[in-house]
Structure 1
Amino acid sequence: MARAGMVIGLLGGSFDPAHAGHAHITREALKRFGLDRVWWLVSPGNPLKPRGPAPLAERMAQARAVMRHPRVVISDLEARMGTRLTADTLQGLQARYPGVRFVWLMGADNLAQFHRWDRWQWIMTHVPVGVLARPGAGVRGRTSRAAQSFAGARVPGALAETLGRQAAPAWCFVDVPMVDLSSTEIRARGDWRRPGG
């Protein structure tokens, strides 16, 4: 799936359900951060969310239906590796793929509460982090505890394409055209159908 020297963006989440907003930020990340590939890491579950997601097979099928791109891989690596926490997943990937440069991708809404993630400081010091603007979360993300703690490691947006070649800690915030969608809102409206449903 990867060879030494490649720069691979990792977009993790429950993708419950995957939607056009996920696809949009993935295409933007490929462009903005100069990535060779993006892997969607469809997680078995999110420790920060109170309820469990839909079954993994359904979410994987939905993700594949939403994101069709030759440089994007929809993966259940976390389930196969037996990891649920991002830091554990990253450690496992770095051990499995020596020489591959990983970039953790997240929306500004996640950066705003990143300090609640298990071993968040380890993540920041072990992989570059690409942050994409999300509706209503830009200011909260840029002024978050994580952003302030690693202010000296911020890569200017004009150098975003170099992020994957930077030594961690390194993070970059980029503004992208907005698509105001969230999986939570889609589930609440009940206007999506799981494959086969």
Structure 2
Amino acid sequence: MNTLGIYGGSFDPVHNGHLAFARCLRDTFALPEVRLIPTGLPPHRTALRVSPQQRLDWVRLAIAGEPGLAVDDREVRREGYSYTIDTLTALQAEYPETLLVWLIGADSLAGLAGWHRWRELLDLGHLVVAARPGFAFDRLSAEISREYAKRLVTAAPETLARGKISQLPSPLTTISSTELREKLARGENVSALTPIADELSASGLYRTTP
């Protein structure tokens, strides 16, 4: 079975936690490739301070030399809102014989009922959920909890199937883009949080203090 890993997000900006999740997705399911897809115009967030092209460039720089990780610019090139259903549908049309293995954070799972055509999303591929420390799966809404429970399978290459869900056995990380932005705003050293610390600091795009 052909497989392709998909990891979308704002990556505002990209950090070590993102890379840890992408590597774990690749390794857990023995995927030949995981594509990181920076969001262009996200429908669920206010306008981002940094341009889609800049975030894309930073992701490309962050994964340079990483085996099995690639960047996809389709949402940056797309006009209008970037809906996950459109991205996955387009990828499936391009690779009709390939199972899409797509990763989201547990916080996104909790809000999935607010996503565009979310029920169709669950049948477009194998959904993988990455949780941060302290996330409580038993606090999901009733309808999301039902879908999660009936579709859940162990995270392993042999369980991959369309319409199933797995929890990523990820190295739990507390790193967040919010924390990274806050440190950059104060002009702090962020080399422990991201592989592109020098580029982020030099850009001055998140800096709010002199």
The question of a shared fold, defined as TM-score above 0.5 by the shorter chain, is answered with yes
Q: Does 1:34 align with 2:30?
A: yes
TM-score normalized with structure 1 length: 0.85
Query: 1 CA distance for matches of 2:17 and 2:44?
Result: 21
Q: Which runs of 5+ in 1 are unaligned?
A: none
Query: 2 CA distance for matches of 1:62 and 1:141?
Result: 35
Q: What is the identity, as a one-letter code, of the residue corresponding to 1:180?
A: T
1:108 to 106, 109, 132: 106
Q: What is the identity, as a one-letter code, of the residue corresponding to 2:200?
A: R
Count of residues in correspondence between the two structures: 188
Percent identical residues: 30
Name the counterpart of 1:176.
170
Alignment RMSD, CA only? 2.2
- Please list the CA deviations of residues 69-96 of structure 1 after superposition, one character each: whole Å capped at 9, or x if unmatched: 1211111112335461000111111112
2:71 to 71, 74, 98: 74
Q: What is the identity, as a one-letter code, of the residue corresponding to 1:134?
A: R
Which of 67-76 and 52-61 deviates more? 52-61
Query: 1 CA distance for matches of 2:172 and 2:183?
Result: 20
**1:118-197 superposed matches below 5 A:** 118-137=116-135, 139-140=136-137, 143-144=140-141, 145-157=143-155, 160-164=156-160, 166=161, 168-190=162-184, 191=188, 193-194=199-200, 197=203
Which secondary structure state, in structure 2, belongs to the residue aligned with residue 126 of structure 1?
Answer: coil
Name the counterpart of 2:206.
none
Does structure 1 conserve the Cα–Cα contact (< 8 Å) formed by 2:83 and 2:116?
yes
Find the structure with the greater CA-based Rg. 2
1:56 to 19, 31, 52: 52
Does structure 1 conserve the Cα–Cα contact (< 8 Å) formed by 2:13 and 2:58?
yes
Name the counterpart of 1:14.
10
Q: Which runs of 5+ in 2 are unaligned?
A: 189-196, 204-210
TM-score normalized with structure 2 length: 0.80
